[in-house]
Amino acid sequence: MSVFVKIQDHLEKLSNAKKKVAYFILDNWQEVALLSASELSKRVGVSESVVVRFAQDIGFKGYPDLQSDLKKVFQNRFEHKVQKGFSSEENCQDNSMYHHVYQQAMYNIQQTLNHNSDEILNLSAKTIHSARKIVIMARRNSLGPAKILQVHLNEAYGNVLLISGENDEVFDYLRGMNKEDLLITISVPSYSKRMVHAVQFAKEREITQICLSNLNNPFREIVDINLLTSINSDIFANSHMATVFLIEILLGEIFEINKVEVLKSLEDMEKVNQRFGISQGVER
């Protein structure tokens, strides 16, 4: 079990001081791999003993073991780049907007790979697959990626509803849900008080929850599973490349879990489309 999985498994039970350590590691894990316990404590603003107890609380013998795990992740992740050309000198020398946006997108994708372990992605896919009913909640910038996820999950399961985080009706839907159902909150980067209240209400009702967001959000202490994306951009709009990339990984994991069921659903949907002339073009 990787350090990222251990942090997410224990996050809700940690003290506020230890949560500060956890968030700093999630945000800056490459740097932490090279910091001593004393140096990390100063960066976070807690005592060195808090750092040591944090490592022990999440399942390590001590901070050196945690740091050793981070170093292994660092070596594994950077020995296998997404593609060799992503950081090539030739690409970096091109100052056009095309290559600038490209480099930023590749950075976001790499960060997203760094923050989400295979275990968390597989657990997320299994949770989605086993849900009786799924509600996806998003707002503004998040609605685009949320719609992509809804469309493709409905192709596979037909049990997914997308609702705006600004809509009061979200509470009506949540009242009819239970622990067999799933609420997926997508918040990149903005969220509303209504969304926070909805996530809290869902927790009270023991509804299983997944949150897909960037690092700065209030949901990750409440939900069951956190999926982290990177939306860094130097232009006026946030980058959604990594978020869509993460959604595609989820869809791939779901397909691997039950290929037969998914393929049968797609075949049934195609028959309906042909019968009623719903889809005239070839989408795949």
Sheet strands (E) in 87-149: 134-138
**Which of the two residues, 27 and 127, has the higher pLDDT score?**
127
Least confident range of 3-12, 171-180, 195-204: 3-12
Residues facing residue 162 across a β-bridge: 136
- Which of 109, 137, 278 shows the shortest CA–CA distance to 217? 137
CATH code of the domain in which 143 resides:
3.40.50.10490
Does position 157 have pLDDT exceeding 50, yes or no? Answer: yes
Q: Is the dihedral of CA 20, 23, 25, 27 positive or negative?
A: negative
Give the CATH number for residue 36. 1.10.10.10
Q: Are residues 263 and 163 in the same domain?
A: yes
- E-assigned strands of the chain? 134-138, 160-164, 182-187, 208-213, 225-228
Instruction: Report the alpha-carbon distance of residue 20 to residue 41 in Å, rounded.
Output: 10
Q: Which residues of 151-179 are buried (b: 16+ CB within 10 A; e: fewer)?
A: ebbbbbbeebebbbbeeeebeebbeebee
Give pLDDT, residue 81.
46
Residue percentage of the chain with pLDDT more than 90: 43
On whether both 69 and 130 belong to a single domain, the answer is no
Whether 146 and 265 share a structural domain: yes
Are 52 and 135 within one domain?
no
Distances (CA, A) of 57 to 61, 115, 125, 280: 9, 20, 27, 57
61 with 142, same domain? no
Task: Please state the domain count of the chain.
Answer: 2
Q: Is residue 25 part of a domain?
A: yes
Instruction: Find the domain containing 201 and state its range.
Output: 118-269
Last residue of a domain, one of 30, 48, 79: 79
Please give, one letter per residue, the 3-state secondary structure of 42-103: HHHCCCHHHHHHHHHHCCCCCHHHHHHHHHHHHHHHHHCCCCHHHHCHHHHCCCCHHHHHHH
pLDDT per position as a tens digit, 107-149: 889 888 888 888 999 999 999 999 999 999 998 888 999 999 9
Task: Report the distance separating Cα 247 and Cα 256, nearest Å.
Answer: 14
**Which tokens hold the place of 201?**
């209400």
Residue 201: inside a domain, yes or no?
yes
Same domain, 126 and 250: yes
- Does 130 share its domain with 255? yes
Across 261-267, average pLDDT: 78
70 shares its domain with 193: no
Q: Which of 199, 248, 205, 204 is nearest to 226 (CA)?
A: 199
Q: Is the pLDDT of residue 87 over 60?
A: no
Per-residue confidence band for 1, with pLDDT thresholds at 50, 70 and 90: low
Where is the domain boundary, 79, 99, 131? 79
CA distances from 200 to 9, 120, 174, 203, 209 (A): 18, 22, 11, 5, 10
Whole-angstrom Cα distance, residue 4 to residue 203? 22
* For range 10-35, the mean pLDDT: 86
- Is the preceding peptide bond at 64 cis, omega within 30 degrees of 0? no
3-state class of 199 per DSSP? helix
Which residue(s) pair with 226 in the sheet? 211
Computed from CA positions of residues 38, 43, 48, 52, in that sequence, does the dihedral angle turn out positive or negative?
negative
* pLDDT band per the 50, 70, 90 thresholds, residue 30: confident
95: number of Cβ within 10 Å: 8
Q: What pLDDT band is residue 280 in, cutting at 50, 70 and 90? A: low
Residue 250 lies in a domain: yes
d(CA 39, CA 146): 40
What does the pLDDT read at residue 153? 94
